[in-house]
């Protein structure tokens, strides 16, 4: 990439939407729908996404348009009509009152998501850190809680719109280091957000340097979760601190650690631009490995071709397919969710059609309260049709890899829709043994994440 080609980041959001080049090309009704839906949902995209990833000839079906522009179907019809009425009448107080009401009703965060799994250290909660699975600690740097563009289905949206009590507290990198000193079972720290690579390199350094301390001998891997390769590849190419970022990656690796960039790619069209490919090549040239993961989302990537192409091209570009997630049951889920049985069909159909090198991917996986649960298949046992499931990650490490069964249900979307098969009253992990929360019912278990 030539420096002279370096574009600057230009966000597109509610207030400058009408000044963008594509606005005039949208039909009038779509303009209104966008203005109304973006009152409720956080809306932010940018010049790269708009100019390079979206095919404006294919609106509204285009997958990246669906992924970044709020869609009318995300609101219940009644809410949409009420809001449109208030909007057309131009009553600002009424509009904001309705927006607040609708947001709260969508129950954006399952209860406890922000407080659960937060470890206690030296008598107080270690805010901005989650330690759920033995080996891996999640770290949410305060300045990394936003993104270069927002995904419409994202369950983290309360963080973006500032719903009170829905934001993480600022964590301290040095406190995290001290915590890790006392937790040698932790081999991985995963920086997440939002998108940690929204941070300037100098700030990212402040969060990462304490973790490179040689005294942290057991810390083997730094992972960084990001969608910046897709939404803003210039972060790795031509941004003023792009080179400094790559030097930081090299420093992590020369500290003797593995650096895993957990890249979020939802659709193969995101891999097409030459800037994205150049960013991938630059990241890999530091010695970092890129792993690819995304949720299965209706209207965005709910077909096997999208996934098989995504995985094959990932391998071709030197990246490792990692997880396919089931869309969480939060936020505007009705528009985006897919029944588990259909998620499994899409997964299997894509998985079957790629070479073994792309079959490093695991899914469809639900990140639910007890753990990450994979739908392994649908089977007939005696005369009963069942889902075969297993833990890829467990709140209790003993659960990992253990198959279990649920009654087949074509209308199940999430763990809390499932009932144990063979007339059992509970799933094995609900017995209370080893479960720190001693949950009783499935729905109580999986409402939490």
Query: Given CA atoms 282, 287, 292, 293 in this order, what sign does their dihedral have?
Result: negative
Is there binding between residue 113 and ligand PLP (CB under 6 A)? no
Is 183 or 200 the residue whose CB approaches ligand SF4 more closely? 200
Smallest CA-to-CA distance from 248 within 286, 279, 214, 285 is with: 286
For the chain, what's the residue count? 449
We find the least distance from the C-beta atom of residue 228 to ligand SF4, in angstroms, to be 8
> What is d(CA 373, CA 39) in angstroms, rounded to the nearest whole number?
35
Alpha carbon separation from 389 to 56, 225, 328, 376 (Å, rounded): 40, 26, 17, 5
Instruction: Select the binding partner of residue 227 from ligand SF4, ligand PLP, none (C-beta < 5 to 8 A, by kind).
Output: ligand SF4
> Of 20, 38, 47, 136, which one interacts with ligand PLP (CB under 6 A)?
136
DSSP bridge pairs for 373: 366, 391
Instruction: Select the binding partner of residue 259 from ligand PLP, ligand SF4, none (C-beta < 5 to 8 A, by kind).
Output: none
Instruction: Select the binding partner of residue 154 from ligand PLP, ligand SF4, none (C-beta < 5 to 8 A, by kind).
Output: ligand SF4
Is there binding between residue 312 and ligand PLP (CB under 6 A)? no
> Of 264, 282, 362, 390, which one interacts with ligand SF4 (CB under 6 A)?
264
Is there binding between residue 333 and ligand SF4 (CB under 6 A)? no
Is there binding between residue 194 and ligand SF4 (CB under 6 A)? yes
Instruction: Select the binding partner of residue 156 from ligand PLP, ligand SF4, none (C-beta < 5 to 8 A, by kind).
Output: ligand SF4
Is 177 or 227 the residue whose CB approaches ligand SF4 more closely? 227
We find the least distance from the C-beta atom of residue 184 to ligand SF4, in angstroms, to be 30
Please choose, out of 100-108, 130-138, 302-310, 416-424, the segment that lies near ligand PLP by the rule CB under 6 A: 130-138
Is there binding between residue 132 and ligand PLP (CB under 6 A)? yes
Instruction: Select the binding partner of residue 194 from ligand SF4, ligand PLP, none (C-beta < 5 to 8 A, by kind).
Output: ligand SF4
Residues 386-415 that bind ligand PLP (CB under 6 A): 392-393
Which two structure tokens, joined as six digits, stand for 327? 């869309």
DSSP bridge pairs for 139: 129, 191
Smallest CA-to-CA distance from 38 within 12, 10, 64, 13 is with: 13
Please choose, out of 70-78, 91-99, 118-126, 148-156, the segment that lies near ligand SF4 by the rule CB under 6 A: 148-156
Residues 171-200 that bind ligand PLP (CB under 6 A): 190
- Coil, strand, or helix at residue 447? helix
Which residue bears the tokens 């330690």?
131
Q: How does DSSP assign 189-233, residue by residue?
A: EEE-SS-GGGS-HHHHHHHHGGGG-TT-TT--EEEEEE-HHHH-G
Please choose, out of 45-53, 73-81, 149-157, 280-288, the segment that lies near ligand SF4 by the rule CB under 6 A: 149-157
DSSP 50: I
Is there binding between residue 360 and ligand PLP (CB under 6 A)? no
Which two structure tokens, joined as six digits, stand for 36? 């109304």
Binding mask 150-169 for ligand SF4 (x = CB under 6 A): xx--x-x-------------
Is 12 or 190 the residue whose CB approaches ligand PLP more closely? 190
Check: CB of residue 275 under 8 Å from CB of residue 292: no
> What is d(CA 415, CA 239) in angstroms, rounded to the nearest whole number?
42
> What is d(CA 397, CA 65) in angstroms, rounded to the nearest whole number?
40
> What is d(CA 350, CA 443) in angstroms, rounded to the nearest whole number?
31
Which two structure tokens, joined as six digits, stand for 181? 């000193």
Please choose, out of 46-54, 177-185, 191-199, 407-415, the segment that lies near ligand SF4 by the rule CB under 6 A: 191-199
> Of 80, 133, 249, 351, which one interacts with ligand PLP (CB under 6 A)?
133
Is there binding between residue 328 and ligand PLP (CB under 6 A)? no
Tell me the pairing of strands 129-133 and 136-139.
antiparallel
> Of 79, 195, 205, 430, which one interacts with ligand SF4 (CB under 6 A)?
195
Whether the link from the prior residue into 194 is cis, omega within 30° of 0, is: yes
Is there binding between residue 442 and ligand PLP (CB under 6 A)? no
Q: In degrees rounded to 5, what are phi and psi of residue 203?
A: -75, -40
Which residue bears the tokens 């009704």?
29
Is there binding between residue 327 and ligand SF4 (CB under 6 A)? no
Alpha carbon separation from 323 to 149, 364, 380, 449 (Å, rounded): 21, 8, 26, 17
Which two structure tokens, joined as six digits, stand for 163? 């719903």
Please choose, out of 132-140, 238-246, 413-421, 435-443, the segment that lies near ligand PLP by the rule CB under 6 A: 132-140
Is there binding between residue 45 and ligand PLP (CB under 6 A)? no
Residues 219-238 that bind ligand SF4 (CB under 6 A): 227
**How open is the CA angle 284-285-289, to the nearest 5 degrees?**
25
* Interface ranges with ligand SF4 (CB under 6 A): 147, 150-151, 154, 156, 193-195, 227, 264
* Interface ranges with ligand PLP (CB under 6 A): 130, 132-133, 136, 138, 190, 367, 372, 392-393
């Amino acid at each position: 990439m030539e420096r002279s080609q370096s574009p600057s980041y230009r966000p597109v959001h509610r207030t400058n939407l009408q000044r963008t080049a594509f606005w005039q090309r949208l039909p009038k009704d779509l303009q209104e729908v966008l203005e109304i839906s973006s009152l409720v949902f956080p809306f932010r995209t940018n010049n790269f996404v708009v100019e390079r990833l979206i095919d404006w000839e294919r609106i509204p079906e285009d997958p990246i348009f669906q992924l970044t522009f709020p869609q009318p179907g995300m609101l219940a019809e009644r809410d949409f009509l009420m809001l449109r009425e208030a909007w057309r009448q131009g009553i600002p107080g009424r509009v904001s009152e309705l927006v607040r009401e609708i947001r709260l009703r969508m129950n954006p965060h399952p209860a406890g998501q922000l407080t659960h799994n937060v470890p206690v250290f030296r008598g107080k909660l270690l805010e901005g850190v989650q330690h759920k699975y033995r080996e891996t600690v999640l770290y949410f740097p305060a300045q990394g809680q936003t993104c270069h563009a927002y995904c419409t289905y994202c369950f983290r949206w309360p963080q973006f719109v500032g719903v009170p009590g829905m934001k993480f507290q600022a964590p301290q990198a040095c406190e995290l280091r001290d915590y890790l000193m006392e937790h040698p079972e932790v081999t991985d720290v995963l920086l997440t957000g939002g998108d940690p690579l929204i941070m300037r390199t100098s700030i990212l350094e402040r969060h990462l340097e304490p973790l490179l301390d040689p005294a942290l001998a057991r810390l083997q891997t730094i992972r960084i979760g990001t969608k910046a390769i897709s939404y803003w590849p210039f972060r790795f190419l031509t941004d003023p601190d792009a080179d400094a970022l790559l030097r930081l990656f090299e420093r992590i690796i020369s500290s003797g650690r593995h650096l895993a960039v957990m890249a979020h790619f939802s659709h193969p069209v995101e891999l097409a631009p030459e800037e994205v490919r150049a960013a991938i090549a630059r990241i890999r040239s530091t010695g970092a490995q890129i792993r690819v993961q995304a949720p299965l989302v209706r209207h965005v990537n709910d077909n096997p071709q999208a996934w098989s192409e995504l995985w094959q091209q990932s391998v071709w570009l030197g990246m490792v397919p990692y997880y396919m997630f089931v869309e969480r049951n939060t936020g505007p889920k009705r528009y985006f969710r897919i029944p588990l049985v259909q998620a499994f069909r899409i997964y299997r159909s894509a998985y079957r059609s790629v070479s073994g090198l792309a079959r490093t991917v695991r899914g469809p996986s639900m990140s639910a309260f007890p753990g990450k649960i994979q739908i392994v298949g649908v089977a007939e046992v005696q005369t009963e049709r069942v889902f075969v499931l297993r833990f890829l990650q467990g709140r209790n490490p003993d659960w990992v890899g253990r198959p279990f069964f649920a009654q087949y249900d074509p209308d199940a979307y999430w763990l809390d829709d499932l009932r144990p098969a063979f007339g059992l009253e509970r799933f094995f992990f609900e017995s209370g043994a080893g479960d720190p929360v001693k949950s009783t019912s499935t729905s109580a278990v999986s409402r939490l994440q």
